[in-house]
């Protein structure tokens, strides 16, 4: 779906920290949204998590930096990091180029997938929420 010029694939789950989750088998792949990468500008550094790191849904576990911005990475589910996207260490701009594909941040083996997914948004609920967030950001910039 496209919302106010930003792309948000329909098949993903989203959180209120502007991160997405895609379930692949028993693993959750996560990354940051088109909105976030666009507002950040050119991404210059990503603190890529390591395998076996424990993460908690909604809690920060790393950071993303651009020339004008430093933001925290928040876990979309609780569990154990299975794999961090090491390509981001040399090419953090992959997030700008393909935030829903090659710019993924990490893969997490969730502790309780159903419970965590129930706390994320999809479809019309996300569309309504993020449209409101974009409106707030636009009015703050004026």
Decide if 137 is inside a domain.
no
**Cα dihedral: 91, 54, 112, 30 (round 10):** -10
Which residues have CB under 8 Å from 81's CB, separation 6+?
49, 50, 51, 52, 53, 54, 55, 106, 107, 108, 109
pLDDT at 130: 93
Q: Dmax of the chain from CA atoms?
A: 44
pLDDT at 142 over 70: no
Any domain includes 15 = yes
The range of the structural domain enclosing residue 111 comes to 2-131
Measuring CA to CA, which residue among 29, 28, 30, 9 is closest to residue 19? 30
**How many domains in the chain?**
1
Is 47 a member of any domain?
Answer: yes
pTM, rounded to two decimals: 0.94
Q: What is the rounded distance in angstroms from the CA atom of residue 125 to the CA atom of residue 70?
A: 28
Asked if residue 48 lies in contact with residue 87, where contact means CB atoms within 8 angstroms, the answer is: no
Tokens linked to 93 = 């701009």
Convert the pLDDT of each residue in 75-114 to its tens digit.
Answer: 999 999 999 999 999 999 999 999 999 999 999 999 999 9
Q: What is the mean pLDDT of residues 56-72?
A: 94
Residue 118 CB coordination number (10 Å): 9
* 142 domain residue, yes or no: no
CATH number at residue 74: 2.40.50.100
Residue 68 has a pLDDT of 84
The pLDDT-based confidence of 4 (bands split at 50, 70, 90) is: confident
């Amino acid at each position: 779906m496209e919302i106010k010029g930003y792309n948000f694939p329909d098949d993903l789950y989203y959180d209120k920290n502007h991160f997405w989750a895609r379930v692949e088998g028993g693993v959750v792949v996560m990354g940051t949204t088109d909105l976030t990468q666009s507002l950040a500008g050119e991404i210059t550094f990503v603190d890529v998590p390591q395998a076996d790191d424990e993460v908690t849904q909604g809690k920060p576990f790393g950071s993303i930096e651009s020339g004008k911005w430093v933001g925290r990475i928040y876990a979309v589910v609780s569990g154990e990091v299975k794999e961090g996207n090491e390509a981001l260490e040399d090419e953090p701009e992959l997030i700008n180029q393909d935030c829903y594909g090659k710019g993924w941040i990490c893969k997490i083996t969730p502790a309780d997938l159903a419970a965590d997914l129930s706390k994320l948004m999809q479809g019309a609920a996300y569309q309504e929420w993020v449209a409101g967030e974009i409106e707030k950001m636009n009015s703050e910039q004026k």
